[in-house]
Amino acid sequence: MKISIIGSGYVGVVTGACLSEFGHEIIFVDIDQKKIDLLNKGIPPIYELGLADILEKNKHLISATDDYNSAIGATDLTFISVGTPCAENGTIDTVYVRSAAENIGSALKNTGKKDIHTIIVKSTVFPGTTESVVLDALERMSGKTAGEGFYLGCNPEFLKEGVAIEDFMNPDRIVIGSYDDGAGRVLSELYASFDCPKVITGIKTAEMIKYTSNAFLATKISFANEIGNICKKAGIDTEEVFKGVGLDARINPSFFRSGIGFGGSCFPKDVRALLSGAAESGVDTAILKAVLDVNEAQPLVMIDLLNKHIPDLKGRKVGLLGLAFKPDTDDIRESRAIPVISALTDMGAEVVGYDPLASENMSVLFPDVVYAKEISEVMACDAVLITTEWPEFENLDYSGKLVIDGRRVRRAAETAEIYEGVCW
Ligand SMILES: NC(=O)c1ccc[n+]([C@@H]2O[C@H](COP(=O)([O-])OP(=O)(O)OC[C@H]3O[C@@H](n4cnc5c(N)ncnc54)[C@H](O)[C@@H]3O)[C@@H](O)[C@H]2O)c1
Ligand SMILES: O=c1ccn([C@@H]2O[C@H](COP(=O)(O)OP(=O)(O)O[C@H]3O[C@H](CO)[C@@H](O)[C@H](O)[C@H]3O)[C@@H](O)[C@H]2O)c(=O)[nH]1
């Protein structure tokens, strides 16, 4: 198929790159000229394991542009994968989705396309958004009617950063929300060779499946952290507890890693959006509120543990191992290192941070932090705080150090002079 992808971020580029592996021709559309130039050279605009190889290998199938008319005119299927950031009231800001849909609608009109075009929303949007914001923009700008002049659907994405290619290629399920039979048919054909359950449903239900999945995973993590805090006080190993708990097939062992909570571009934003959307419709969401409250408090447990050993942090050097919101990414969005750095600087500590990929991104938020080129600079600090579990932190020698571990690095527990695990 010939496929255009609007928005060349984590989701867009991974989707396009993976679909090119099946021989589909891909045109990326973005408003960021830097990303367009990189993609046209076969270089990924974001870091994701394995992405560079695919883009280089399939260069002949891939191009990028800011011109909607040429991209829509040359393709049969368009994915919208632009960002849906948090608006001030906690709901999603649909400005990018609306603008993408308006531009697609105009292009459908300008190019005078005769063949029926399919538009699929891959961005995470609050239930109802595709059938209101997107549908309205497409019909208004194209002069066509959904289901007759174009097909409309949604296909939420479940990939995890860092393992995004693997997740896209081997999904647990594919969810297809269809406004009309056409969108369902086109996506069923596109994904025919994927050997996984396909959930074909209405658009609002598909949108809700995405929010519910993320909210449930976030709930598991906050629950694990609350239980972890109880275990820490009682001298019980949380990991062993969840090993025992997760063996119950009704529960499942994944996403029970306790620590300093969840960050990233999705869990915090999506739980907030669900909560705000529920409040707007008069539904009280006690569980979702608690999930966020636990997640806000959890990174600060590190500071309490540090204060136990160094009561006055003024002028003391505190090293941070890990700045990214999780390993194998340069993404710092909602990283749990952020509240830790803020608290430390508020208390007058000098922060030295190290991350294999994310230092540059973090330096935009915190220009006054010292970004270490070598881990030894962090290890020379008065205390070492582990905020991201990069595999290389398992190979360090922590002897003689005071370590507060937010992510359970075994080697630190074994070798540190003073070791405090956040929930163990
Ligand atoms: N990052 C993830 O792991 C992940 C996983 C599943 C779902 N999602 C969802 O997918 C969506 C995209 O997330 P992301 O992380 O890829 O975002 P991102 O910020 O990395 O990328 C969005 C891209 O869209 C471009 N853009 C914005 N407006 C545009 C327009 N009008 N026309 C063309 N391009 C435009 C931006 O320049 C940017 O390159 C969000 O709704 C997110 O919640 C993200
Ligand atoms: O047991 C766990 C698992 C994760 N985390 C933290 O949770 C955050 C998110 O991790 P992860 O889910 O691996 O990364 P994301 O790339 O944010 O992926 C989530 O968000 C995406 C965007 O919606 C979804 O597509 C994915 O299915 C969903 O896992 C990170 O800060 C992790 O450190 C924990 O603290 N404990």
**Cβ–Cβ < 8 Å for 61, 1:** no
181 CB contacts (<8 Å, ≥6 apart)?
none
The mean pLDDT value of the chain amounts to 97
Residue 84 in marked binding region:
yes
Digit-coded pLDDT (tens) for 199-218: 999 999 999 999 999 999 99
Work out the average pLDDT over 52-72.
97
Element at 101 (helix H, strand E): helix 95-110
Q: 300-421: same fold as 211-297?
A: yes
**Ligand 2 centre and the CA of 121: distance in Å?**
21
First to last CA, the chain: 51
Digit-coded pLDDT (tens) for 157-167: 999 999 999 99
Digit-coded pLDDT (tens) for 371-387: 999 999 999 999 999 99
Tell the CATH topology of 2-201: Rossmann fold (3.40.50)
Judged by its nearest atom, the ligand closest to the C-alpha of residue 260 is 2
**Rg from Cα positions in the chain:** 23
Architecture of domain 211-297: 3-Layer(aba) Sandwich (3.40)
Percent of the chain predicted with pLDDT > 90? 98
Residues having CB within 6 Å of any atom of ligand 1: 6-12, 29-32, 35, 81-84, 96, 99-100, 123-124, 157, 159, 161, 265-266
Spacing of C-alpha 206 from chain mean position = 18
Relative to the CA of 256, which ligand 2 atom is closest? 1
Work out the average pLDDT over 320-343.
97
401 CB contacts (<8 Å, ≥6 apart)?
379, 383, 384, 416, 417, 418
Q: What is the pTM of this model?
A: 0.97
Nearest to 29 by CA among 104, 109, 93, 85: 104
Digit-coded pLDDT (tens) for 64-81: 999 999 999 999 999 999
Residue 30 in marked binding region:
yes
Give the start-to-end residue ranges of the domains of the chain: 2-201, 211-297, 300-421
Given 3.90.850.10, 3.40.50.280, 3.40.50.720, 3.30.420.40, which CATH number is that of 300-421?
Answer: 3.40.50.720
Residue 114 has pLDDT above 90, yes or no: no
Strand (E) positions, 66-134?
A: 77-80, 117-121
Residue 259 in marked binding region:
yes
> Is 381 a residue of the active site?
no
Digit-coded pLDDT (tens) for 16-32: 999 999 999 999 999 99
